[in-house]
Amino acid sequence: MDADTLKVIVLQKTPGSIARLRGLGVIASIAIAAVAIYALSHALKNVDYGEVCEAVRRTDAGLVGLALLLVAASYGSLTVYDLLALRTIGRTDVPYRIAALASFTSYPIAHGVGAVALVAPVIRYRIYSHHGLGVFDVANISFLTGLTFWLGNLTALGLSLLGEPDAIGLIDHLPPEVNRLLAAALLVGVFAFLVWTWLQPRSIGTRRWPVRLPSGPTVLLQIAIGILDLGAAALAMYVLIPTGMNVEIFRVIAVFIAATLLGFASHTPAGIGVFDAAILIGLGGESREPLIAALLIFRFLYHFLPLVIALGLFGAVEGWRSLRAKRQP
């Protein structure tokens, strides 16, 4: 899942305004992380870790396999993010396999490190520069892939809160009526953006760095792909939660999205601590051990395993290119 669009500065700003924005971002990240650590420490009180290990062992292997397939579907949809971005900037010559390589190496590594805004564009540049893309092209791709992510996030969050308005009540401490209004506002905003891009071609940015926005039909496709990505990831978490906990799917989706957004905002590696606190608070009941076990398995499947594969794949590509460069006369 990509949040680097929030860090791509498209509009020209003064150095002072950039410094102020960065300062506010750092303060907000520290505040979110501090609150999450406090909440997580309370959520983990009186937890029987022996029971957590036993719950992990009791988890059905078939459910773990299903969750792994859903994780693969989520990462597979992420590759379409880059493909749509390439087509939007007019680079139809770059094949899907390169878009998939850039996507799958940049997302797990960047989120695993925590510095998404810095790491993801660098990895993308290392992949795309061999196919004639420059710094501005990669920056545009980073913005557009982030746009796809956020359109899907906001749409899925809005739809899930309409179905289960009190799902994140333990996180935002707002009544269901207010959450339903927020959901409606999110969906209206996404719909307005869709209509705005559908009416005529749109672009933002500066004369030096123009950013072409996707057309209306492409925005609609972005929303669908974003929902697929997020929905598959949330379902992977859902299937790992024991049925005895009686957690509804809309609640899982809403809490999962909120936890993901808070994790991104904290800038901690893979949202560690922040994501977990939001999941435990939003979905936990009196018995937290089964939920912690499901969370640990999900973390392994969704974060650790893709990170190891992405590191190996990126290292292999860099090593092969270095070796080929040395062999050339």
- Interval 125-139: pLDDT, tens: 999 998 999 999 998
pLDDT given for residue 237 in this prediction? 93
So what's the pLDDT on residue 97?
94
Residue 299 pLDDT exceeds 60: yes
Q: Among 45, 252, 1, which residue's Cα sits nearest to residue 151?
A: 1
Q: How far is CA 303 from CA 78, 84, 165, 306, in A?
A: 14, 24, 28, 6
Residue 267 is which amino acid? H
Average pLDDT over residues 88-106: 92
- Band (307; pLDDT cuts 50, 70, 90): very high
What is the predicted pLDDT for the residue at 44?
A: 60
pLDDT at 281 exceeding the cut of 70: yes
pLDDT band at 196 (very low <50, low <70, confident <90, very high): very high
Please give the pLDDT value at position 3: 43
Residue 249: exposed, middle, or buried by beta-carbon count in 10 A (0-12, 13-18, 19+)? middle
Report the pLDDT value the prediction gives residue 11, as an integer from 0 to 100.
38
In this prediction, residues 285-308 reach a mean pLDDT of 88
Q: Give 43's contacts (C-beta < 8 A, 6+ positions apart).
A: 277, 280, 281, 284, 288
206-210 long-range Cβ contacts below 8 angstroms, 24+ apart: 206/10, 206/11, 206/12, 208/12, 209/10, 209/136, 209/139
Residue 36 has what pLDDT?
53
Q: What is the pLDDT of residues 216-265, one digit of tens each?
A: 899 999 999 989 998 999 999 999 998 878 888 888 888 898 888 887 77
Question: For residues 78 and 306, what is the distance between their CA atoms, to the nearest angstrom?
Answer: 13
Q: Say whether pLDDT at 4 is over 50.
A: no
Per-residue pLDDT band at 34 (split at 50, 70, 90)? low
Q: What is the pLDDT, as a whole number, of residue 8?
A: 43
The type of residue at 213 is L
- Give 3 or 47, the one with higher predicted confidence: 47
pLDDT > 60? residue 43: no
Q: Is the pTM here over 0.85, yes or no? A: no
